Amino acid sequence: MKPTIIKLEPMYSRTYYVEWKLHNVCNYDCSFCGSDIKDGSRRGLSLDTNKKIIDKISEDCKDNKVWLAFNGGEPTLYSELIELLTYAKTKPNVLTTMYSNASRTIRYWTELRDARVLDQLYVTYHSEQTDDYKHVANVLNLFHAEPITTIAIVTHVPKHITKAIEGYEYILENTGAFVNMNYMNAEGALQGYSEEQIEKYKKYTFLPGRKTDSKVKSQVLPKHRISREQMIETYSDNTKKLVSLVNLKKEDKNKFQGWNCNIGIENMHIDVARKSKGMCDIHSGILIDVEDLEKTLSFEKEPTICKFELCHCTMDLYSPKSKILK
């Protein structure tokens, strides 16, 4: 009998991770984002409250490193973002990353770069919303001489995949960032794509940009990096295999219904004024007001049994999983 996968886990050692939606204000109107991400109904907490949240998270993680991953909405529209990032970096165990559509001006990004408050930066080129992938490349190149990891995520829906490929190729050729393509169908699958489009999409995977060799490298130790491009599969015969996290979705292997999932044990999701186990609320079942800090900001103690057919969110996919053997 062919060995089956019984465990999926990250490559590196224990590092906590907090996905933090600062607000749901966005200047884009992507078809694949729900209104809860972009309708502006949750404008964000005060800087003082967010600082207290950082205090609690840093304290709870103690001697372990913890990544604070800021997103939105569009996080750069949070007016006190640089101040918040600056405060986060006063904590010796805090590492910072951010997910942005990179649409702010070069002047803004220069100010952010000069503040030296990021350990990693994800920028997205949304081919559905803009043709200006050269601006995205220019933003990435502002950080070329900075000791941070830069990642470009090129998103697409079926109608715009040709433009997405054009943007992917330009960013790959002209930056030192890692570049990936990601389908963003609301259904969470490759529905609506032709076979030819799917074959093209699968060829454009997580690759280093042509200028990677001259890019100043991150100073974060390898064991604390967010290595979401690589996971370890363990099989029933105890053999192991390195697998691309990106390819789990591409190959339709993101199915963990009935498995034990460590979502929430070493990660959590803060959605403005709510805390849940993971990025996708439907997987979480826990929503707590973050202003009750003592109750809210504790990591979970026990794994969750996955009840859903597909796992879409990268954060949730990245949580260690083990098959329940009968």
Which domain covers residue 185, as residue numbers? 120-219
Give the start-end residues of each E strand in 23-176.
66-71, 94-100, 120-126, 149-156
- Within-domain flag for 32: no
Quick one: pLDDT at residue 288? Answer: 76
Return the amino acid letter for 135.
H
- Within-domain flag for 286: no
- Within-domain flag for 290: no
- Sign of the CA dihedral with 18 first, then 310, 168, and 220 last: positive
Over its length of 326 residues, how does the chain's per-residue pLDDT go in tens digits?
Answer: 678 888 988 876 668 899 999 999 988 877 777 777 777 777 889 999 999 999 999 998 888 999 999 998 999 999 999 999 999 999 999 999 999 999 999 999 999 999 999 999 999 999 889 999 999 999 999 999 999 999 999 988 778 888 988 999 999 999 999 998 877 765 556 667 778 777 777 777 789 999 999 999 999 988 888 765 678 889 999 999 888 777 777 777 888 889 998 888 888 889 888 888 876 655 555 667 777 777 777 888 888 888 888 787 777 888 889 998 87
Quick one: pLDDT at residue 74? Answer: 95
Gyration radius (Cα) of the chain, Å: 19
**CB crowding 184-218: b at 16 or more within 10 Å, else e:** bbeebebeebeeebeebbeebebeebebbeebeeb
Quick one: pLDDT at residue 252? Answer: 76
How many domains is the chain partitioned into structurally? 1
- Within-domain flag for 129: yes
Closest CA to 40 of 50, 28, 51: 28
- Within-domain flag for 140: yes
Quick one: pLDDT at residue 281? Answer: 53
- Within-domain flag for 212: yes
- Within-domain flag for 101: no
* Axis-axis angle for helices 195-203, 161-174 (nearest 10): 10
- Within-domain flag for 292: no
Please, are residues 231 and 243 in contact by the beta-carbon 8 Å criterion? yes
